[in-house]
């Protein structure tokens, strides 16, 4: 059917927004947005490797993001270079490596804009399977490790004394974020993925009294942004990723303009 691609994009986008809600909340709470950005940039290297080695592109992207997350954890152990510098180096090196690699592939008809800003037409049913598997795995892990993740976010030392394996849980969170970014790339594009994580979570903050509430609200707001953005993108022929982000921004501004009595800002 003619509308199929729109349905696919909507289903994929909503699936993504659901997992991006809680994970984005952690990105906001733990100030990891630069980390998300760096992982997203490395996704382009995954695309290039995927094309170059002729392997499944989704696998290549996921592998590349996970590898970068692990590399970062290992590199953080040294104390000479600060984490934000390290992230900056990794983000731009991997983006450039990806672009350079792509330029070597002569016959590849790569639509760079689609990777950078997302493409509605790029989503095929096979991608929905990836989103479903990845999303369900992340939701299950989030449920299983929720108390530990929350305890660690409140205070790592307190959590450690209470028996939380900090290193393990921190790595798990990084890997989950890497997985979401890998899957989200097709819909919102490399340059805009972090916004899908942080804008809904930041919008949910003034309306929430508990971390659980904030995570769920962030999912809902993310879903609303995806639906509004994708429909607008279809209607007005605007790029998919930026349209979703603009929709999220409109919701964000709207919530912060609400009178204080509706929004508790403690």
Q: Output phi, psi for 204, to 5 deg.
A: -75, -25
Least distance in angstroms from the C-beta of 4 to other proteins: 40
Looking at the Cβ atoms of 183 and 198, the one nearer to other proteins is 198
Helix (H) or strand (E) segment spanning residue 158: helix 156-161
Tokens 């403690």 sit on residue:
266
Looking at the Cβ atoms of 175 and 215, the one nearer to other proteins is 215
Least distance in angstroms from the C-beta of 139 to other proteins: 17
Looking at the Cβ atoms of 155 and 238, the one nearer to other proteins is 155
Contact predicate 174/30, CB 8 Å: no
Residue from 135, 155, 152 nearest 12 by CA = 135
CA 13 vs. chain centroid, Å, equals: 12
Question: 68-74 long-range CB contacts below 8 Å, 24 or more apart?
Answer: 68/38, 68/39, 68/42, 68/94, 68/178, 69/39, 69/171, 69/174, 69/175, 69/177, 69/178, 70/171, 72/35, 72/38, 72/174, 73/170, 73/171, 73/174
Residue from 199, 173, 187, 201 nearest 239 by CA = 187
Q: Output phi, psi for 7, to 5 deg.
A: -60, -45
Cα angle value 14/5/41 (rounded, 5°): 60
Least distance in angstroms from the C-beta of 130 to other proteins: 31
Q: How far apart are CA 185 and CA 103, in angstroms?
A: 20
Looking at the Cβ atoms of 169 and 185, the one nearer to other proteins is 169
Least distance in angstroms from the C-beta of 162 to other proteins: 6
- For the chain, how many residues are written? 266
Least distance in angstroms from the C-beta of 151 to other proteins: 6
Looking at the Cβ atoms of 236 and 262, the one nearer to other proteins is 262
Residues at the interface with other proteins (CB under 8 A): 28-29, 31, 147, 151, 153-155, 157-158, 160-162, 202, 205, 208-211, 213-214, 264, 266
Least distance in angstroms from the C-beta of 219 to other proteins: 15
Looking at the Cβ atoms of 79 and 109, the one nearer to other proteins is 79
Looking at the Cβ atoms of 33 and 93, the one nearer to other proteins is 33
Least distance in angstroms from the C-beta of 20 to other proteins: 16
Contact predicate 68/87, CB 8 Å: no
């Amino acid at each position: 059917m003619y509308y199929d691609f729109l349905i696919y994009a909507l289903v994929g986008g909503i699936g993504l927004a659901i997992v991006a809600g809680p994970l984005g909340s952690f990105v906001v709470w733990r100030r990891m947005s630069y980390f998300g950005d760096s992982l997203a940039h490395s996704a382009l290297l995954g695309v290039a490797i995927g094309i170059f080695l002729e392997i499944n592109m989704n696998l290549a992207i996921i592998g590349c993001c996970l590898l970068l997350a692990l590399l970062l954890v290992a590199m953080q152990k040294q104390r000479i270079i600060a984490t934000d510098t390290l992230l900056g180096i990794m983000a731009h090196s991997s983006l450039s490596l990806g672009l350079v690699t792509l330029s070597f592939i002569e016959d590849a008809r790569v639509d760079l804009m689609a990777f950078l800003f997302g493409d509605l037409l790029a989503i095929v049913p096979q991608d929905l399977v990836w989103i479903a598997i990845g999303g369900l795995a992340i939701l299950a892990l989030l449920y299983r490790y929720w108390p530990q993740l929350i305890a660690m976010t409140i205070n790592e030392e307190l959590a450690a004394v209470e028996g939380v394996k900090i290193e393990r849980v921190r790595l798990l969170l990084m890997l989950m974020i890497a997985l979401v970014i890998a899957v989200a790339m097709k819909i919102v594009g490399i340059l805009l993925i972090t916004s899908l994580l942080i804008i809904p979570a930041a919008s949910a903050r003034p309306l929430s009294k508990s971390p659980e509430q904030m995570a769920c609200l962030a999912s809902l707001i993310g879903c609303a942004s995806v639906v509004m953005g994708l429909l607008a993108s279809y209607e007005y022929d605007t790029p998919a990723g930026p349209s979703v982000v603009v929709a999220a921004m409109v919701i964000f501004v709207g919530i912060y303009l609400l009178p204080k009595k509706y929004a508790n800002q403690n």
